[in-house]
DNA sequence: ATGACTTCTCTAAGAAGA
């Protein structure tokens, strides 16, 4: 069994104690991190390595930043940092590696707010580039896991309030259509596949307006599996408990289990 | 509501997040 976690930590410096506790408790084989908010040199990677993980980083000062952690001495080989033809390559939003016989990507997709701004256009352009690259990955006919914070609420039932989010970039028809175009290439949304009837399957709760105690969340962190990975799907879920910890990220870690090949 | 909360950083009130 291979255990994979994707976690938008919202600042590695601020979240390091929570991350180290999480690694000790769950001991996942592969961790895909997003929103490091720091350059690799400024980050305490030695403590992560002391916890038993090898790391691969693609970071920048202050914003964005994605990484992998791989447990033990297992292979962890970089395939690429950044998307092909990335419209803003200085933004560290994509890293892809080979680990445990899988191709894995850690994705931090642009937020895109406010709608109608340059940022929204950048989001859609970035998603078009991801669509192209995802098609190339599918063509390899290998087990591939595209993990991360997609900043897209796939369906109305994936948010606590359609009305509250109606004007948000995360659930605009264009954002959803762009995600659907990728999924319809042949990817499996693992969390929805495993929990087809859960209408409170959330991965994010805002810090504001008592969103967490009200369970006013939405689902924006996703695992997309190639057919060769989906055939091995054993389980998937949300580590919701982590959102209730002191000094928690506003995202909960999401997890995926794949049977051995 | 030019807010709320939390992170980062040019450590102030600001930018950005979602």
pLDDT digits (tens, 9 = 90+) for A209-231: 999 999 999 999 999 999 999 99
| pLDDT of A45 over the 80 cut | no
pLDDT, tens digit (0-9, with 9 covering 90-100), for A25-39: 999 999 999 999 998
The torsion angle over the Cα atoms of residues A145, A223, A25 and A241, rounded to 10 degrees, is 180
Lookup: nucleotide whose C1' is closest to A9 CA: B7
Token reading at A245 = 């910890």
Q: pLDDT category, A141, cuts 50, 70, 90?
A: very high
Pairing status of strand A188-189 against strand A144-149: unpaired
Q: Residue A63 CA to B14 C1' — how many Å?
A: 15
**Alpha-carbon gap, residue A178 to A152, rounded angstroms:** 9
Half-sphere exposure of A214 (CA within 13 A, CB side): 13
**Mean pLDDT score of chain A:** 95
0.85 exceeded by the pTM? yes
Q: pLDDT category, A233, cuts 50, 70, 90?
A: very high
Question: Which residue's alpha carbon is at the shortest distance from the C1' of B16?
Answer: A63
Lookup: nucleotide whose C1' is closest to A206 CA: B18
Q: Residue A61 CA to B10 C1' — how many Å?
A: 13
Q: Residue A177 CA to B5 C1' — how many Å?
A: 31
Residues A75/A34, Cβ–Cβ less than 8 Å: no
Lookup: nucleotide whose C1' is closest to A42 CA: B8
Q: Which nucleotides of B are covered by protein (CB under 7 A)?
A: 4-9, 16-18
The pLDDT of residue A249 is 97
Question: Which residue's alpha carbon is at the shortest distance from the C1' of B8?
Answer: A62
Q: Residue A183 CA to B13 C1' — how many Å?
A: 42
Report the pLDDT averaged over residues A79-91. 94
Q: pLDDT category, A116, cuts 50, 70, 90?
A: very high
Report the pLDDT averaged over residues A115-128. 95
3-state secondary structure of A235: strand
Q: pLDDT category, A189, cuts 50, 70, 90?
A: very high
**Alpha-carbon gap, residue A253 to A242, rounded angstroms:** 7
| pLDDT of A41 over the 80 cut | no
At a 7 A CB cut-off, the residues bordering strand B are: A 8, 10-15, 35, 37-38, 42, 61-63, 110-111, 113, 119, 149, 151, 168, 170, 204, 206-209, 218, 220, 247, 250
Give the DSSP per-residue string, A104-169: EEEEE----PSTTSHHHHHHHHHHHHHHHHHHHHHHT-S-EEEEEE-----SGGGBS-HHHHTTSG
Report the pLDDT averaged over residues A161-183. 96
DSSP annotation of A29 reads S
Q: Residue A130 CA to B1 C1' — how many Å?
A: 38
Lookup: nucleotide whose C1' is closest to A119 CA: B16
Q: pLDDT category, A74, cuts 50, 70, 90?
A: confident
Q: pLDDT category, A48, cuts 50, 70, 90?
A: confident
Nearest one of A143, A109, A104, A76 to A5, comparing CA atoms: A104
| Among A83-92, A105-114, A178-187, A237-246, the least confident range | A83-92
The pLDDT of residue A127 is 97
Chain centroid to CA A234: 19
List phi, psi (to 5°) of A108: -125, 90
């Amino acid at each position: 069994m291979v255990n994979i976690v994707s976690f938008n930590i919202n600042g590695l410096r601020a979240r390091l104690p929570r991350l180290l506790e999480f690694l000790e408790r769950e001991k996942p084989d592969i961790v895909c991190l997003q929103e490091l908010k720091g350059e690799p040199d400024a980050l305490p990677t030695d403590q992560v390595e002391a916890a038993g993980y090898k790391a691969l980083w693609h970071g920048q000062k202050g914003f964005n930043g994605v990484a992998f952690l791989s447990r033990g001495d297992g292979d962890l080989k970089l395939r690429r940092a950044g998307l092909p033809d990335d419209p803003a390559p200085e933004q560290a939003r994509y890293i892809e590696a080979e680990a445990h016989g899988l191709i894995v990507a850690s994705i931090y997709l642009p937020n895109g707010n406010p709608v109608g701004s340059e940022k929204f256009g950048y989001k859609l352009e970035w998603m078009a580039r991801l669509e192209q690259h995802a098609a190339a990955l599918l063509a390899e006919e290998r087990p591939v896991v595209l993990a991360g914070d997609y900043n897209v609420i796939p369906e109305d039932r994936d948010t606590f309030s359609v009305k509250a989010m109606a004007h948000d970039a995360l659930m605009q028809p264009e954002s959803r259509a762009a995600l659907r175009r990728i999924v319809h290439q042949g990817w499996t949304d693992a969390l929805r596949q495993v929990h087809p009837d859960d209408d409170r399957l959330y991965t994010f709760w805002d810090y504001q307006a008592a969103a967490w105690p009200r369970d006013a969340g939405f689902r924006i962190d996703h695992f997309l599996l190639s057919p060769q990975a989906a055939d091995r799907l054993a389980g998937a879920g949300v580590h919701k408990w982590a959102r209730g910890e002191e000094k928690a990220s506003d995202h909960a870690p999401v997890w995926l289990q794949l049977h051995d090949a």
